[in-house]
Structure 1
Amino acid sequence: MAWFFTAKRLRLLVLAVFLAALGTTVASFLARQKERSRTQPLPSKIAPEVDQQTQAFSLSKTVEAHTLYTVQAEQVTYLKDSRKAVLRGVSIFLYGKQGQRRDRVWSQECEFDPAAATLWIPGQVEMELGIPAQAPTAVPGPTAQAWVSVVTSGLSFDQNSGVASTEREVQFRFAEGQGSAQGAIYDPQKQLLTLPADVRLNLQDSAPSETLASMQSATSVASGVSVRSGNLQFHREERVIYLGAPVTVTQGPHRLLAGKSEIILDAQNRARTALLTGGVVAMVEHPDRSSEIRAGSGQMEFNERGKMRLLVMENQAKWVSTSQDSQQEGKAGKAELFFSEPDDLLNRIRAYDSVQISFRDLSPPPTPPRTILNRPLGPSLGKGAQNLSAPQVDIFFRSDGKMLRQLLTQSPSQLELIPSEATQERWTIEGADFRMDFDAQSVLSQFFAEGNVRAVAEAQKGPPRKQVLTSQSLQATYSPATGGLEKIEQWGKFRYQDPDKQAQAERAEYLTGREEIVLQGDAMLWNSRGRVASERMVWNGATGQMTADGHVFTTYFPTPSSGAPLPQPVQIVAERLQYASATGRAQYLGKVRLWQGKSLLETDRLELDREQGQLFAQGNVYSVLQQLPEGSQRRQEPLEIRSYSLLYWQKDRKAQYQGDVRMQSASANLTAAELEVFLEREDSNGARAVGTGVEPIEHAVARGSVQILEGARKATATWAEYFPARGELHLFGEPAVVEDPQRGVTRGVRLTYRIGDDSMAVDGKPGLPAETRRQVLR
């Protein structure tokens, strides 16, 4: 929305000044005529109806070496029967008390009636104000050099009241244009000038080079500003001009309407304030955009150069600006429009009292529609409309005075993002203050919110769903390509909450085109099933993938089984996490460490598949498991297992270690190519012990070049079984061998013994009998 009226375009006071001078001049002239008619001796009679006639009449009045006025007439005739005087070729020059003015009134003929104390000029009267000092003083007719020129006729003057009036058209011309009115009344006692009807002004940068006589033809000007009012009153002593309803100001596509107007002048008769009442409307019509502002009343303030510096619209100001692609609407209790110097263009608007502004995007959706992963994304977020509410708003314009540049609020404000379709969410953003930036076409490009920012996104269709985001600051950037929001950033104690989850970080970024959320700085995401924290976290809503980097810390809360002890949480730390919600798989990379209760797992890479109930670790696998149930009378010795990889099946309670497997306890070490560990399913009371973090080993099976070291004892086998609860070890091979430096060597296809016990059961088979060799000390 642009403003276009300046004081140069509202110089109605010019009309008041020169018409006031007209009334003063005529009154002064008639007073001098009356005095002259009493004192001047009559010349000799020259005709029966003529009492006396004088040629080349001239009269001046001087006070303290200053000439106040000079009256000149080519001829004065005194009529015998009517006792009237007729003056022909009349010129009156006015200089003021100090000789500061040089004005002139000129007419071909006027008639004075001493008995009625009236003067009547039936024909044309011309008046010129501000004649250059070097211009000749005795040239009859208009000089065409005056600052203001006036033409009227049918002028009547009442000598008793001093009122001069005419019911005929009054026309005038000045440097900035020309004008007219129907009738004029001047009361010198009240110093009141009244133009009773059809007041018209046509203003332009320079007056046309037409003669004064041409003013009797059309008074319209092809370009410039046209001012019309129902009537006009000029109170000279009070320095106030009143324009009666309706008041209309027009310049090209611009138009201003008001019920009544009041113009207040300073000591130099310059306009300083204009008061507009009875409803004020300003409009502008362009081929590509139309704008309008309305208010119950208004006020204009002018600077010393006569230029408008401020326009105030009060009593419920409303405005609208519409183009093919966008619409801007607003309302406020009061709006102030500020104009810059020296170009006098609109610079800023300040709106007060329950301000509401709406920005609506009317452009069609992009063709073809946006897609990601070959699926359409639908309308852009924030493309429909933006509604701003605030106690006070400052709107700044670009240097052309038309295009929006910036909008500021400095008090608690609210911005609503209303989507163009019901399938999208409706956003409401609140903050201590807002800043909105616009591009060269007055299209919203970005906005900022500061101080206790709270954003709420609510579903308009389907099941109720509410998202709440809070932070200290927020910035949203619009995309020129789609017209919708491209990115939303929040920082300073960011918090997020929806019915399913919560999140927090120092900074959050939402990339709408990719439906991607980035959390940075002590980022954390959690719900009832778990929690993940890291330095940086990226969540893609379109693909359902999440990536966390830097000091990743994850906690899972297993679902408790009926009648079982409360499960302990599973906790994981790593350098990086990748999660896919579609498959339910999570991958941890770099210095991975998992623990649950007293169980521990370390590896280079860890994959969790919660849907399949599987765990896969690869690279430098190290785990710690409990051999015995809690409360066992045997001494608890945790098992440390190292391998290249680990695969765990939750359903089967089985862990499979592969690649250079090494199992170690306080009393024995085992190496093998592969190791399977089976965890107990029930505790001693028959209840499930899954997920408690202290699940003991039911048994373990080692395969491939199995070797067991127990102190000095060494056992080798093809495969072996270990039952921690009984401390029993079964070795299988062809043969399986146990070597003991003190007790000798035992071979068999199956060897069974207890760790820490010297007894052993040996089985053989045909062709491979059991064999024990003991060393005999000599």
Structure 2
Amino acid sequence: MRLTIERLRTLVLASGVLLIAALVGFLALSKIKNKLNLKEIPHKLGADIQRQANGFVYTQSHGGHTLFKIRASKVVQLKKDGRAQLHDVEIELYGQDGSVVDRIKGGEFDYDQKAGIAAAAGPVEITITRPTEAPAVAPGAKPQLPAKSGPLANAANEVASGQIVVKTSGLTFDQKTGSATTAQRVEFAVVQGQGSSQGATFDSDKGQLVLDRNVELNVHRGRETIVLRAAHGEFERTQLVCNLTAAQASYRNGQAAAGRAQIRFREDGSAERLDADDGFTLTNAAGAKVAAPNGSLDFNEKNQPLQGRLEGGVTMDSVQADRSVRGTAPTALLAFGPDGQLKHARLERGVVLHSEQQGQNEPHVIRDWRSPVADVDFRNGAKGQLLMSSVKGTGGVVITGQSQKQGGAVVPSRMAADEVTGEFGDRQELTRITGVGHAALEQTTATGARQTTSGDRLVAVMASTGKQATGQGDLSQQIQSATIDGNVVLTQQKPGDAGAKLRATAGHALYDGGSEWLHLTQSPRIDDAALQLTADRLDVSQSSGDAFARGNVKATWLDETRRGKTAQGGLAFGGQGPAHVIAAEAQMHRDTGEATFRGGARLWQDANSVAAPVIVLNQSRQTLVARSAAGQPVNLVLLSGSQAGKAKTKGSGPSVVRVRAGDLKYSGAERKALLRAGAVGQVVAETAEATTSSNEVELVLFPPGNHAGPDGASAQVDHLTAIGNVVVTSNGRRGTGERLVYSGDNGQYVLTGTAGAPPRMTDPVRGSVTGEALIFNSRDDSVSIEGQGHKTLTQTVAPK
């Protein structure tokens, strides 16, 4: 588009030079009718002369001014047929200031007095020193010509600076009709170049000049030559209108052509307007073409284009070795700057741009731009090149694309916004895209997940390839960075999983194309199936869907069973309501369903909770892992209670089990928690009646719905098992052993040991007891001793 639009004015200016040159030549012949009536020549020389007159000069004057002067070496009056012959003729036409304006030379003129026709059978040369009639000025005054305005800015000024030389033969002038006609070749030379046509007619009465066929003009513009051709040309002198048929301008970087073109001129000879129909085409050297059924251009006094319009269905085509581009729009409006360079093009009423590319060993890429309106701005580049600066689509823009590697799946992408602006660099590669109003970018990640990012405003900076724009890859693969502001929403869905959709929201987002991470700030939030998460900042991976949360992290797992959904993806930590987590930061792996919380992490569901430096949740496996760090232990709190339906006695109400350990592993499927001493050195478990320390503790919860508290409270602890170096204290008693089992249902503690080290309990009042198993009942403070096949019950009363 750059070269063809830029050179379009050359077509118009070249047409003007050709027409002015031919017009002035035939205008000079029209002066013969008004000032030089050949019928009067014999009368001036002697009406009935039958002799030869050799070497004469005839001058015609009026009001003291010379109008014309005829020089001939010989005049022969042929009485028998009423004809006269002039040999070696030179006619000088003068202006009102007395200076020579035009000269006509011919070897022989033949004048038929009866028919009123003068004909030059041989060559005729016309030298024109001015392109138009001299203005009516005072006698002796010099004509005032318009100032010059550039090499091709004003054709009349350029012609006036030199001479126009017209050569032809077989010229016939009909005095009755005022027409001068030749069927022979007409050649002319002007300051800008040389031209020709085959046959021409000038009607002085109608002021009409007709160039019959094969019109051609070679115009020199610096080192460049522009060739203008037309099948036929007509010029209306009185209306200053030129009509060309099958016009074509060829230049170094392309061609411009029109089936029919009409050019309107001003009085000073400058072009005012060009109207083209029956096909208007602009083509550059690379084969890019812009075409429309109809087109028009308006020009200033310097013959520089001001504005233009293409309509009737504008098409733009560009085909290269591995890339093709086609654009369509019903209408295109063109605007030019003060220097005549194209500055702006506006495509209206439905714009479609389609491109395809597939290089060797490269993916097949298809992209489509659709918008009601598209505005293209241009700027001047190096070496006089006209470059695209930006393109802006309004009224709702949709850019779709797809990329497919050989034998691979089709990878789609889509960008949409109320307004989209693309900016171009020096190599005409896309450097920046801005979408405003309902901006959205859709793409497919490397893992096949479909991802959509939307907001009020989206600005994407494109990666520089260092080459001419190629369009390789889908749109997302070319983005170096992007910012999204206002109502930011990110959604990502795994392939083949219609239910699992990640949704992230924020006030601001920054995308890094190198790492393919999206950074969300200003109240960011993630919803992933049953998970809801907020933080000061969220980082989401485009490729995997993984996320990092930093600062004031808060997460909630909803109870999917209460929402009529399966529990998959939720979290059950002994309760039936939502589970909550707070931490300083969190990391989530979407493929594995694992979330890691660090820095003062705490999780709770109903009355059950766990606090630790690190908590790791796996939604897929329904597991929880907690770890200590820097001397900070894992703290677990679970609800315990008595069997439903029993009378409330001491210990029959719900109580709390508190455990402090080095690490924790919990399985929601098994409803089992395993705590180990780890770096803390021992596991400490506390109930309302006793405190236990050991190497590890195992907690098993009742199945869901069993032994739940009122109104669906947390499920209670079924039993607690402490293993290894067990020490239990309760109400002054102290027991030691290798294994302790606490039953939340009946409130009993069973302490056992090994054959070499049986369990032992020390009572401050009764002393020490031992046996194979020591059973402490928290409801009545009784202790049972089992050993050697019998059981002994010991009642003790511990000091309060």
- 1:288-316 deviation line (CA, Å, top 9, x unaligned): x3212221122233332223454533211
Answering whether residue 736 of structure 2 is matched by residue 736 of structure 1, we say: no
CA distance in 2, matches of 1:445, 1:255: 30
Amino acid at match of 1:492: G
Instruction: Pick the aligned partner of 1:698 from 710, 713, 718.
Output: 718
- 1:563-588 deviation line (CA, Å, top 9, x unaligned): 99993222222233334455544322
Question: Which residue in 2 is equivalent to 1:139?
Answer: none
CA distance in 2, matches of 1:446, 1:325: 24
Alignment of 1:293-332 (within 5 A): 293-332=290-329
CA distance in 2, matches of 1:517, 1:198: 65
CA distance in 2, matches of 1:18, 1:79: 35
CA distance in 1, matches of 2:92, 2:30: 13
Give the deviation of 1:555 after TM superposition: 2.7
In 2 relative to 1, CA 186–168 (structure 1 residues): closer, same or farther, beyond 3 Å? Answer: same
Answering whether residue 524 of structure 2 is matched by residue 523 of structure 1, we say: yes
Question: Which residue in 2 is equivalent to 1:137?
Answer: none
Question: Which residue in 2 is equivalent to 1:644?
Answer: 662
Select between 266-275 and 567-576 the one with higher mean Cα deviation: 567-576
Q: Percent identity?
A: 22
In 2 relative to 1, CA 295–629 (structure 1 residues): closer, same or farther, beyond 3 Å? Answer: farther
CA distance in 2, matches of 1:66, 1:626: 127
In 2 relative to 1, CA 305–682 (structure 1 residues): closer, same or farther, beyond 3 Å? Answer: closer
CA distance in 2, matches of 1:101, 1:305: 28
Give the deviation of 1:110 after TM superposition: 1.9
Question: Which residue in 1 is equivalent to 2:201?
Answer: 185
Question: Which residue in 2 is equivalent to 1:406?
Answer: 390
Alignment of 1:103-502 (within 5 A): 103-130=102-129, 146-205=162-221, 224-244=225-245, 246-252=246-252, 254-285=254-285, 289-340=286-337, 342=339, 345-365=341-361, 379=363, 384-397=365-378, 399=381, 400-401=384-385, 403-420=387-404, 423-456=409-442, 468-476=452-460, 477-478=462-463, 480=465, 483-484=472-473, 485-487=477-479, 489=482, 490-497=484-491, 498=493, 499=498, 500-502=500-502
CA distance in 2, matches of 1:494, 1:101: 80
Instruction: Pick the aligned partner of 1:676 from 686, 698, 701.
Output: 698
CA distance in 2, matches of 1:122, 1:525: 95
In 2 relative to 1, CA 526–774 (structure 1 residues): closer, same or farther, beyond 3 Å? Answer: closer
Asked whether the equivalents of residues 744 and 775 of structure 1 are also in contact (C-alpha less than 8 Å), the reply is no
Give the deviation of 1:621 after TM superposition: 1.1
Answering whether residue 638 of structure 2 is matched by residue 625 of structure 1, we say: yes
- 1:309-359 deviation line (CA, Å, top 9, x unaligned): 5453321111111222432211111223445554x5544432222111123
Question: Which residue in 2 is equivalent to 1:587?
Answer: 596
Amino acid at match of 1:124: P
| Aligned partner of residue 196 in structure 2, secondary structure | strand
In 2 relative to 1, CA 100–190 (structure 1 residues): closer, same or farther, beyond 3 Å? Answer: farther
Answering whether residue 9 of structure 2 is matched by residue 7 of structure 1, we say: yes
CA distance in 2, matches of 1:78, 1:241: 41
Asked whether the equivalents of residues 42 and 84 of structure 2 are also in contact (C-alpha less than 8 Å), the reply is no
Give the deviation of 1:407 after TM superposition: 1.8
Alignment of 1:502-541 (within 5 A): 502-506=502-506, 507-508=508-509, 518-540=519-541
| Aligned partner of residue 102 in structure 1, secondary structure | strand
CA distance in 1, matches of 2:535, 2:660: 28
Question: Which residue in 1 is equivalent to 2:736?
Answer: 717
CA distance in 2, matches of 1:175, 1:473: 56
Amino acid at match of 1:117: G
Q: Give the gaps of 5 or more residues in structure 1.
A: 134-143, 208-222, 367-378
Amino acid at match of 2:167: V
In 2 relative to 1, CA 61–745 (structure 1 residues): closer, same or farther, beyond 3 Å? Answer: farther
Give the deviation of 1:451 after TM superposition: 0.9
Aligned CA-pair RMSD: 4.0
In 2 relative to 1, CA 98–232 (structure 1 residues): closer, same or farther, beyond 3 Å? Answer: farther
Question: Which residue in 2 is equivalent to 1:726?
Answer: 746
Amino acid at match of 2:62: T
Asked whether the equivalents of residues 576 and 606 of structure 2 are also in contact (C-alpha less than 8 Å), the reply is no
In 2 relative to 1, CA 32–39 (structure 1 residues): closer, same or farther, beyond 3 Å? Answer: farther
CA distance in 1, matches of 2:698, 2:47: 152
Give the deviation of 1:388 after TM superposition: 0.6
| Aligned partner of residue 189 in structure 1, secondary structure | coil
Q: How many residues align?
A: 716
In 2 relative to 1, CA 534–630 (structure 1 residues): closer, same or farther, beyond 3 Å? Answer: farther
In 2 relative to 1, CA 267–629 (structure 1 residues): closer, same or farther, beyond 3 Å? Answer: farther
- 1:168-192 deviation line (CA, Å, top 9, x unaligned): 2211110111111122221122111
Alignment of 1:566-585 (within 5 A): 567-581=576-590, 583-585=592-594
Asked whether the equivalents of residues 473 and 491 of structure 1 are also in contact (C-alpha less than 8 Å), the reply is yes
CA distance in 2, matches of 1:684, 1:295: 80
CA distance in 1, matches of 2:394, 2:179: 57
Q: TM-score, normalised by structure 1?
A: 0.81
Give the deviation of 1:757 after TM superposition: 4.0
CA distance in 2, matches of 1:130, 1:428: 65
Asked whether the equivalents of residues 300 and 306 of structure 2 are also in contact (C-alpha less than 8 Å), the reply is yes
Q: TM-score, normalised by structure 2?
A: 0.79
Asked whether the equivalents of residues 593 and 601 of structure 1 are also in contact (C-alpha less than 8 Å), the reply is yes
Question: Which residue in 1 is equivalent to 2:152?
Answer: none
Amino acid at match of 1:349: A
Asked whether the equivalents of residues 670 and 707 of structure 1 are also in contact (C-alpha less than 8 Å), the reply is yes
Instruction: Pick the aligned partner of 2:37 from 34, 39, 59.
Output: 34
Question: Which residue in 2 is equivalent to 1:755?
Answer: 778
- 1:447-482 deviation line (CA, Å, top 9, x unaligned): 3322112345589xx9xx976543223345356399
In 2 relative to 1, CA 531–272 (structure 1 residues): closer, same or farther, beyond 3 Å? Answer: same
Amino acid at match of 1:110: F
CA distance in 2, matches of 1:201, 1:306: 18
Question: Which residue in 1 is equivalent to 2:146?
Answer: none
Asked whether the equivalents of residues 575 and 714 of structure 2 are also in contact (C-alpha less than 8 Å), the reply is no
Asked whether the equivalents of residues 455 and 486 of structure 2 are also in contact (C-alpha less than 8 Å), the reply is yes
- 1:644-701 deviation line (CA, Å, top 9, x unaligned): 222223344332333233333555544444333222236558xx99x97611122223
Give the deviation of 1:206 after TM superposition: 7.0
Give the deviation of 1:240 after TM superposition: 0.3
CA distance in 2, matches of 1:322, 1:239: 40
Select between 756-765 and 669-678 the one with higher mean Cα deviation: 756-765
| Aligned partner of residue 419 in structure 1, secondary structure | strand
Q: Give the gaps of 5 or more residues in structure 2.
A: 135-159
| Aligned partner of residue 428 in structure 2, secondary structure | coil
CA distance in 2, matches of 1:145, 1:537: 74
CA distance in 2, matches of 1:775, 1:631: 28
In 2 relative to 1, CA 657–420 (structure 1 residues): closer, same or farther, beyond 3 Å? Answer: closer
CA distance in 2, matches of 1:735, 1:36: 153
